[in-house]
Chain A
């Protein structure tokens, strides 16, 4: 890592520098008197191992061991400004002065040694910095001693001959891996400074769009009061559209950023990206002719077989595994930013511009970050951290969220390539006229745009021309780059424009070869004049055992195999640019014609990299490029909703998983006599074309638009015209209620209710006179035995009293919790023994009357949200024990807010009528025909347990429907499923499973308790096993189905295995859900609920499934069950709808699709949870 050495050497040092101007110079090499070597390079290690390779080059030229060399990369205070680490330039370009500087230092030292030892230089040898001759020796350190030696970097330095190399060209282990494998401080994410605070940013709603007048001008207001309750909140910062939070602790910064109420102006209509081709064609551009050779128009118009093709490349993500992070420390005149940037000097410039300070005050210290493969959010987050640090005057660490990195990283842009051409009478290429569109620029650092420091008018860059000229020597050829501004935020991504351009070149020539009836490799060789290319192509064909195509064999069965070839010389940097390593692929694929699934089974990847500094490093880069580009070709495509980036987690933007990685056979041509070439990108470039050519070989169908997803393959195989994706409907209106209202369908119900109650009131008034029971002094709880109080506590747990009588985070039983009902909001009352505000003045008769008749001590009717219809069944002994327990609690003074009920429900006397219709005050009577256990269970379930209060449907007046006892109901926005034979569970409940569920919150055959059921099961822990068993026995008696559960479970699970990612929903499942839910996966901490068996997936409504997807399971019955994250901030309504639709179809295939899922998602999203 970058640990800059002190510039004032304590003893002596030798430096090799380049003078920039009178005050500035750049150091390349520093050797200190202790013999250690520091090498400085302006480029950085993006995870490719460049640090090791640069160290090898320096060690080689200096004749020291690699271990002696420290490579310092990217710290703006000490390294030369060599521009951004892009375009595979480090080895080819920026290593050149470094090598010369090392050689120059060696020459100097050996000359000095010759003088010191009085020997001719030719007689001296060097071994790890020790110069020997004639039995005498002197070390580099000794030669430097206390002197300060400064050498000006010369241009004409003699470097070693390749034949003399001992370190360069040898495979060396990466110097950074031991630290990374053992958790040492390595990454910018690991920087911790004294007094450091944690920041988070809140991004605008135009996710991933950085051009247009609304950028930086859309914020209406930030409501700081909305986060006032967050502990340790330090600041809310707002500048233009930049919004950030600073807090003492990271988790609180996260909460604050989520909770902060920010209002934004509506985003104007953005470009519709559902059809990328159409969007790119419609986007304004300026043509730039790169080559115009021969007479293209005449050649094409005279072609024997005209062939006009269009190739479309999708938007893709760099998709760094670690979202970007930075730490900034803003002190007056000394501003330091620890960053994972790709371009420290460019970033320093941006930061100075952002805060309007001279560049000299800003130091960018570069640390490693997750691999970026181009421009990700590393610079953005550095600027964010600086703004927040400036605001609070302390060091601030900002970590972008996964969602922010996905949404805002500059995308690898979509590209549109039209090729017009054709074949001449001999089957050769008559002409080749290519037009490429690349809507991307350098993606300005976001904070500059959001704060309005720079214009949101997008720059147009000339970068679509990489490898735009094909490597083939066509006689008549024209290539035009249509330069254009970005549509969404986009910037360079591995194989910058060359990968899509090559996809066109290499697909087209394959198509031409097919047309001509010639083997595609043979056909290419006709046009390939570059001997190194020809050698490579031949070597790769031989290694792969290539047999001439086409092989017109009949292919039976669902799985068909094919093989494809592609070649590229990655030409990069400013046009006309220069080549990096040569690369060629032979890809083998297996295509499942029934599912559309494409597997790349094997890739032979050949490369001519010139001299390889670290051959193992090159091999690993080839592996990495093959795997990443296979992933891009098969599965990667950014999705958009209304023009903004929709993919915000790995389910919506999948990357290749381990089992799908092809076998890779790497062929590296020995070219140590040739200059070293960049290897960081080359092997990506032929990928998509080789795979498309292989798919064609397997299926006879040509695919011209990656990714080659199962849907696209099936569409191609079945010859369906590609349908125009439907524009998304506008977002569903927010729901008006937070609970699934079973009465909502009953129009005009209020009138009926009022009439009914009014009729009943006469009866009610006579039957249940409400008289006040005199208050008493608070009873002395010491009259009750400890055993009675303990029994009462158990019963309170069974009755789940505290759940309703406590606010979230409030004092237990002090009331005040809002209970949403279809009739309005009821606030629970204080049931602690406070005399004035609680039940301290209630005598036992008053308490018993409330429990049995639903009357307050003062005689007023209680609403039946209080389940006295059940509690009335409690026997006297239990009732007294419960009273004893409640009176033994600490008294808490707390008054509940007034209920907010609509007319006529605010008229309590009407409840007398309700009671007359629906309530019978009657103690539980055992059924002599049933067992004792059954009767015990019935008592627990029907009285204090009040299970049916949620698990039975209610009528229009909110009373349980007795004919539908335990047939399922709704509570708090959750479905309380039927507990009878009406259960939708695919495996019928059994006594044992009911017991397991009530005891532990988990049943292997049904799932885990969540939502309002989780606290109930947790409360039931107070009850002994026999009581839980009795409840299970009783509940099971309503279920007349039985099944061999293990056999049925195995059948259901094997029949519903997910094997192909054939839809958006399937991909969301595999990316987000399968890690914890896939049957047979690696055991993780917590339970592994099987979706095929889960009751919620088989239910009549999607509510519970939507609840857990959006809100997760954050407080399970027990931590043993594990936790489920909430996806509400990571998935859009449309995505959740897709996911829910897939889960239902996949795991409950016998059940009909749910309807109204979109509305359910919208309702549950805004509900309290």
Chain B
């Protein structure tokens, strides 16, 4: 306990596995993962939206589960597998979910897009064929202000369908 507390405040390097690569980060253990991903690792995918885990723009995958990087300290991420939007695919080689969102034009300003794609990724990992109702419920706590919901839902269903095709 006390060792933990002591460590918390000292700037010992912390080792994080992000998108399959190991990074050493010198920061306090209580630093929210989001700031380390954006500032130390120069990743643009996860976005700051509320700092309270309410809106979902900062979503990443930690050990495969959706995680709100703004409220998870890096001290809790050691030894875990972290994946960000960049870890899914690139413009030239997008992941199925990314491609589905592009195909459905599922964004307006696109600030929430990271959270939508990462949450969809987490959803399809545990429920590859969600009903529309299930998809809506899974995205309930990802906020979009522009009103791209219709296209986003279509993107989720398209990605689900393409994953099913790929399995067949």
A177→B105 contact, CB < 8 A: yes
> Within 8 Å CB of B16, what residues of A?
none
A321 touches B145 (CB 8 A): yes
Interface-lining segment among A22-30, A476-484, A802-810, A1157-1165: A802-810
> How many angstroms from the CA of A657 to the CA of B140 in the assembled complex?
5
Shortest CB-to-CB span from B111 to chain A, Å, is 4
Binds B, one of A576-584, A623-631, A786-794, A962-970: A623-631
Cβ-defined contact, A250 with B107, below 8 A = no
Q: Whole-angstrom distance from the CB of A283 to the nearest CB of chain B?
A: 29
Residue contacts A-B, CB under 8 angstroms, 26 given: A48-B108, A181-B101, A182-B94, A183-B43, A183-B84, A187-B44, A190-B44, A192-B39, A321-B55, A323-B49, A373-B145, A620-B108, A623-B151, A626-B147, A649-B54, A650-B50, A661-B149, A809-B6, A810-B6, A1072-B52, A1082-B122, A1085-B63, A1085-B68, A1114-B30, A1115-B8, A1119-B80
Contact between chains at B109 and A46 (CB < 8 Å): yes
B residues within 8 A CB of A903? none
Q: Mark B134-162, 1 if CB is under 8 A from A, else 0.
A: 00111111111111111111000000000
Asked whether B101 lies within 8 Å of A177 as measured between CB atoms, the reply is yes
Give the complex CA separation of A449 and B119 in angstroms. 41
Which chain B residues in 45-99 approach chain A with CB under 8 Å? 45, 47-57, 62-63, 65-68, 70-73, 75-77, 80, 84-86, 88-91, 94, 98
Query: Nearest Cβ in chain B — how far from A769, in angstroms?
Result: 36
Bound together, the chains give a CA A173 to CA B99 distance in angstroms of 12
Residues of A within 8 A of B (CB): 46-49, 173-174, 176-187, 189-190, 192, 198, 231, 249-251, 319-323, 325, 368-371, 373, 399, 401-402, 616, 620, 623-628, 649-651, 655, 657-659, 661, 664, 802-803, 806, 808-813, 1015, 1018-1019, 1071-1072, 1074-1076, 1081-1086, 1114-1115, 1119, 1122-1125, 1127, 1130
B86 adjacent to A183 (CB under 8 Å): yes
B108 touches A371 (CB 8 A): yes
Give every chain B residue within 8 A of A657 (Cβ-Cβ): 140-141, 143
Cβ-neighbour of B51 out of A173, A325, A401, A813 (below 8 A): A401
Can you name 9 extra interface pairs (CB under 8 A) apart from A173-B102, A181-B101, A812-B3? A183-B86, A249-B39, A321-B55, A625-B147, A627-B147, A809-B6, A1075-B141, A1084-B66, A1119-B75
Nearest-neighbour CB distance to chain B for A178, whole angstroms, equals 5
Instruction: Give the distance to chain A from B65, nearest Cβ to Cβ, in Å.
Output: 5
**Which of B6, B80, B117 is A181 in contact with, Cβ under 8 Å?**
B117
A659 B137 Cβ-Cβ under 8 A: yes
B54–A1084 contact, CB under 8 A? no
The reply on B129 being an interface residue by CB < 8 A is no
* Pair A1085/B66 contact, Cβ less than 8 Å: yes
**Known A249-B39, A1074-B141, A1084-B68; contact A182-B89, beta-carbon cutoff 8 A:** yes
Q: Which of B35, B38, B109 contacts A371 (CB 8 A)?
A: B109
CB neighbours (8 Å) of A808 from chain B are 5
Residues of B contacting A231 in the complex (Cβ-Cβ under 8 angstroms) = 11
A802 and B139 CA atoms in complex are apart in Å by: 44
B167 at interface by CB-CB < 8 Å? no
Residues on B facing A (Cβ under 8 Å): 1-6, 8-9, 11, 27-28, 30-32, 35, 38-39, 42-45, 47-57, 62-63, 65-68, 70-73, 75-77, 80, 84-86, 88-91, 94, 98, 101-102, 105, 107-114, 117, 119, 122-123, 126, 133, 136-153
Q: How far is the CB of A727 from chain B (nearest CB, A)?
A: 28
| B98: chain A residues within 8 A (beta carbon) | 181-182
B64 to chain A, nearest CB (A): 9
Q: Are A1115 and B51 in contact (CB under 8 A)?
A: no
For the complex formed, measure the closest distance between the CB of B39 and the CB atoms of chain A, giving whole angstroms: 6
Provide the residues of chain A in CB contact with B70, threshold 8 Å: 1125
Do the beta carbons of B52 and A192 come within 8 Å of each other? no
CA distance A319 to B148 in the complex (A): 15
Chain A's closest residue to B47 (CB) is: A322
Contacts of B8 in A (CB 8 A): 809, 1115
Closest to B6 in A: A809
Kindly provide the distance from the CB of A174 to the nearest chain B CB, expressed in whole angstroms. Answer: 6
Q: Of all chain A residues, which has the CB nearest B76?
A: A1119
Q: In the complex, what residues of B have CB within 8 A of residue A369's CB?
A: 109, 111
Assembled-state Cα–Cα distance A227/B160 (Å): 50
Q: Is the CB of A368 within 8 A of B73?
A: no
Query: For residue A371, which residues in chain B have a CB less than 8 angstroms away from its CB?
Result: 108-109, 111, 145-146
Q: Which residue of A lies closest to B69 (CB)?
A: A1085
Contact B114 A251 (CB under 8 A): no
B146 touches A628 (CB 8 A): yes
Give the CA-CA distance A49 to B139 in the complex, in Å. Answer: 24
Task: Given the known inter-chain contacts A251-B27, A1074-B141, A1119-B77, please indicate yes or no for A650 contacting B67, CB distance below 8 A.
Answer: no
* A125: min CB distance to chain B, Å: 32
With A182-B89, A1125-B71 in contact, do A187 and B140 touch (Cβ < 8 Å)?
Answer: no
Tell me the nearest residue of chain A to B71, going by C-beta: A1125
In chain B, what residue has the closest Cβ to A803?
A: B1
- Chain A residue numbers with a CB within 8 Å of B11 are 231
Partner of B150, one of A182, A399, A401, A623: A623
| Alpha-carbon distance between A402 and B51 when the two chains are bound, in angstroms | 7
Q: How far is the CB of B152 from chain A (nearest CB, A)?
A: 8
**Does B102 lie within 8 Å of A178, measured CB to CB?**
yes
Contact B145 A320 (CB under 8 A): yes
> Are B108's CB and A1082's CB within 8 A?
no
- Bound Cα distance from A450 to B48, whole angstroms: 26
A183-B84, A183-B114 as given contacts; A624 in contact with B108, CB under 8 Å: yes
Q: Contacts of A174 on B, CB cut-off 8 Å?
A: 105, 107
Bound-state CA distance A322–B152 (Å) is 18
Instruction: Check if A181 sits within 8 Å of B66, measured CB to CB.
Output: no
A189 to B42, CA, bound (A): 11
Q: Please, which residues of chain B bring their CB within 8 A of the CB of A624?
A: 108, 146-148
Residues of A within 8 A of B68 (CB): 1075, 1084-1085
Contacts of B152 in A (CB 8 A): 658
CB nearest to A1119 among chain B residues: B76
Residues B108 and A321 in contact, CB atoms below 8 Å apart: no
Minimal beta-carbon separation of B50 from chain A (angstroms): 4
Task: Flag if B105 contacts A811 (CB, 8 Å).
Answer: no
Q: Which of A179, A616, A626, A802 contacts B2 (CB 8 A)?
A: A802
Interface centre among A231, A1074, A1085 (most CB of B within 10 A): A1085
Nearest-CB residue, chain A, relative to B155:
A181
Residue of B nearest to A405 (CB): B50
Please name the 5 residue pairs, one residue from A and one from B, whose CB atoms are nearest each other, closest first.
Answer: A47-B109, A1119-B76, A627-B147, A624-B147, A1085-B67
Residue of B nearest to A625 (CB): B147
Contact in complex: A184, B151 (CB < 8 Å): no
Name which of A322, A616, A625, A810 has the most chain B CB atoms within 10 A of its CB.
A322
A812: chain B residues at CB < 8 Å are 2-3, 6
Chain B residues whose C-beta falls within 8 Å of the C-beta of A651 in the assembled complex: 54
CA distance A626 to B108 in the complex (A): 14
A1122 to B67, CA, bound (A): 9
Min C-beta distance of A723 to chain B, whole Å: 30
Which A residues are in CB contact (< 8 Å) with B136?
A: 658-659, 661
Contacts of A813 in B (CB 8 A): 2
Residues on the B chain within 8 Å of A198, using CB: 39
Q: Which residue of A lies closest to B90 (CB)?
A: A182
CB pair B5 A192 closer than 8 Å: no
Closest to A401 in B: B51
B4 & A1115 in contact (Cβ 8 Å cutoff): yes
A173, A182, A806, A1083 pick with most chain B CB within 10 angstroms: A182
Complex Cα–Cα for A27 and B119 (A): 43
Complex alpha-carbon distance, A605 and B158, angstroms: 25
CB within 8 Å for A1019 and B1 given contacts A626-B147, A628-B145: yes
Contact between A192 and B42 (Cβ–Cβ < 8 Å)?
Answer: yes
A1085 / chain B contacts, CB cutoff of 8 Å:
62-63, 65-68, 72
Contact A185 B44 (CB under 8 A): yes
Question: Which of A192, A321, A627, A811 is B112 in contact with, Cβ under 8 Å?
Answer: A321
Residues in B neighbouring A1081, C-beta threshold 8 A: 137, 140-141
Decide if B141 touches A1125 in the complex (CB within 8 Å).
no
